Structure 1
């Protein structure tokens, strides 16, 4: 992807309230969820990955040893996802102030692949869409790419308001790539148990 310049921002600062423990550190296929997400991101963008830390920051940071990523600590992580998007974008712009866009993702979608990220980027590179989002369960969400024209709006996000609000604000300039596996994420221990069972049964 050499036309438009982008960074990847991984949101990994959450409290994991419903889970009761650090979601980012859960193990799946011999990797923690944050290791898996970071490895996928680096395979797509080897030099421009920012991971936003907050709750459990020290433990999560240790999981990233050996990976070519930058980290940003969100002091306001208790306020919610909007503050993490702001923190991640500010960090990405400090590292590269001429970005054409950012790809925002999370670490609790266990079936995410580098192929899907490449598909999003390919569509973004070849279109004039302001947003290229993932579609699952009939909805649009992350991973999603936001054009630099939307950076001011992303920087204004507050509380637990995430990037979906920006998608809805610009739905006429949004396109999507199907990612039905994206409907599976990990919010509770029951989610985690089910996903581990699915992985055990997979060939």
Structure 2
């Protein structure tokens, strides 16, 4: 699947207050989650990757240092006020990307689209990212179900098992996994993203701006596995029980 010239912004400056520990440093397949997700981004062969992390966490910065050393297209940006929300992290990511893009002409980037992703959708895979990048609409976003607590996760797991056993019809299955979120990761036209930079404030700035676009400029790639993110201790315990995350932390 061919992708367009693109860059990636990884939003990784969340403070994980509900989780009670740093989610960026949870381990998946023997490495910190922030490294695992950065490698997924690298697999899409981007022109550049901008990783936005909290300014005062040396462990997160250290975890990503080796990858940044190995790949000269990986750049780390510090967010001094991560508590202000995701939109400010994205603002800083766009600012850093603009700075790279306007560098000396011999090193300038050729970017048509920007892939924006977080770090805690633990079942995200390379195929989904490539599908987002292959889209032609102004915004190609992910569509998935809203699962806010562990009981919802358990319900979805149980329903999926029942569906397989009973071979229920496609309409019923669609209702079972009804999509009600359009969000990250997403691919967006770079020029539009630059225009929106100054409008990004608070925690939901980008989603608000996307909703203002004509529907003809937006498409979604459904993937209910993206519902599984890590925000609470219960979700973390469930993810470890399912072996989606390692049972112990290395850092």
- Asked if these proteins are the same fold (TM beyond 0.5), I'd say yes
Aligned residues: 197
Work out which structure has the larger RCO, using CA pairs closer than 8 Å and 6 or more positions apart in sequence: 2
| Alignment RMSD (CA, Å) | 2.0
Question: Aligned pair 1:167/2:167, yes or no?
Answer: no
Summarize the alignment of residues 22-101 of structure 1 with structure 2, pairs less than 5 Å apart: 22-54=22-54, 56-67=56-67, 68=71, 69-97=74-102, 99-101=111-113
**What are structure 2's unaligned runs of at least 5 residues?**
103-109, 146-178, 245-251
Question: Aligned pair 1:143/2:143, yes or no?
Answer: no
> Max radius of gyration: which structure?
2
**What are structure 1's unaligned runs of at least 5 residues?**
none
Shift of 1:144: 0.5
Residues in 2 aligned to 1:178 and 1:154: alpha-carbon distance in whole angstroms? 27
Shift of 1:196: 1.0
Aligned with 1:72: secondary structure? strand
Shift of 1:162: 4.0
The TM-score with structure 1 as length reference comes to 0.89
Could you list the runs of 4 or more consecutive aligned residues of structure 1 that deviate by over 3 angstroms after TM superposition? Answer: 1-4
Residues in 2 aligned to 1:71 and 1:171: alpha-carbon distance in whole angstroms? 34
Shift of 1:188: 0.8
Q: Is the 2:5–2:46 Cα contact (8 Å) retained in structure 1?
A: no
The TM-score with structure 2 as length reference comes to 0.73
| C-alpha spacing 1:194/1:56, structure 2 compared with 1 (3 Å) | farther
Describe the superposition over 1:3-31 as per-residue Cα deviations: whole angstroms up to 9, x where unpaired. 74321000011111101111101112212
